[in-house]
């Protein structure tokens, strides 16, 4: 006889764990924002899908596996928040596809992105020709960040999660030394202690971690 009760109980536990995980992570949903999120979703799907129909795995064992998985995910998330280098290794970095109006073919190879697919992605952002854009960046979640030519009303993050964004400094023709001087003017010396530093219309706004 098919173990309806056992499968139903495991499905209920899996559903409750999903809800708990979404609330704890603060994401609002399981849509991946990075490669690590994608892997976590695959692993979670494998755990739930591989366990619910296996009568040899008890509910207690199922709970223990979910607890181990949740602990690993939580520890990884904390490590990424506290150590920018770990975040860089786990999530990777954005890839610049167009800089100052010029396409960078070698970066397309690095991103495993064809020119045809890139054109499709641009059209989905209402960009009909590459001559309209100044800069295009492929984010870790696979989406594009597009800066159009002649767009003055755009702030730039010079520091995010304690990391200095060298490419953003290049966009405003500034060096890291200039950034450190600007930080010192606001009594900051270590970029690692800064959550976000945004440059907009000649002003640098800093949001520290504490």
Q: What is the pTM of this model?
A: 0.57
Q: What is the pLDDT of residue 161?
A: 81
Q: What is the pLDDT of residue 197?
A: 92
> In whole angstroms, what is the distance from residue 183 CA to residue 197 CA?
9
Q: What is the pLDDT of residue 78?
A: 82
Contacts of residues 101-110 at CB distance under 8 Å and 24 or more positions apart, as own/partner, are 101/130, 101/131, 101/133, 101/134, 101/149, 103/130
The answer to whether the Cα torsion of 155, 87, 37, 139 is positive or negative is: positive
**pLDDT tens-digit readout, 31-46:** 666 666 777 777 777 7
Domains (range + CATH), the chain:
4-89 (no CATH), 93-148 (3.30.240.20), 156-208 (3.30.240.20)
Hey, is 129 helix, strand or coil? Answer: coil
> In whole angstroms, what is the distance from residue 117 CA to residue 119 CA?
5
Q: What is the pLDDT of residue 13?
A: 83
Q: What is the pLDDT of residue 1?
A: 59
Q: What is the pLDDT of residue 106?
A: 92
User: Would you give per-residue pLDDT tens digits along the chain (210 residues)?
Assistant: 567 787 788 888 888 877 777 776 655 555 666 666 777 777 777 787 777 777 788 888 888 888 888 888 888 888 877 777 777 777 777 888 988 888 999 999 988 889 889 989 999 888 888 888 888 988 877 888 888 876 665 778 899 888 888 878 887 888 889 999 999 999 998 888 898 999 988 889 999 887
């Amino acid at each position: 006889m098919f173990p309806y009760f056992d499968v139903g109980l495991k499905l209920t536990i899996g559903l409750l764990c999903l809800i708990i995980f979404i609330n704890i992570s603060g994401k609002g949903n399981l849509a991946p924002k990075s490669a690590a999120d994608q892997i976590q979703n695959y692993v979670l799907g494998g755990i739930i899908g591989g366990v619910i129909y296996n009568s040899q795995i008890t509910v207690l064992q199922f709970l223990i596996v979910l607890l181990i998985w949740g602990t690993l995910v939580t520890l990884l998330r904390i490590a990424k928040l506290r150590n920018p280098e770990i975040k860089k290794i786990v999530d990777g970095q954005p890839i610049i596809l167009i800089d100052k109006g010029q396409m960078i073919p070698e970066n397309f190879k690095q991103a495993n992105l064809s020119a045809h697919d890139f054109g499709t992605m641009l059209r989905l952002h209402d960009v009909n020709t590459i001559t309209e854009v100044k800069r295009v960046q492929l984010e870790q979640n696979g989406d594009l960040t597009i800066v159009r030519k002649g767009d003055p009303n755009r702030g730039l993050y010079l520091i995010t999660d304690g990391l200095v964004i060298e490419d953003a400094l290049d966009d405003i023709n500034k060096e890291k030394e200039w950034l450190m001087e600007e930080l010192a003017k606001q009594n900051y010396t270590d970029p690692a202690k800064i959550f976000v530093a945004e440059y907009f219309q000649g002003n640098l706004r800093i949001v520290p971690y504490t």
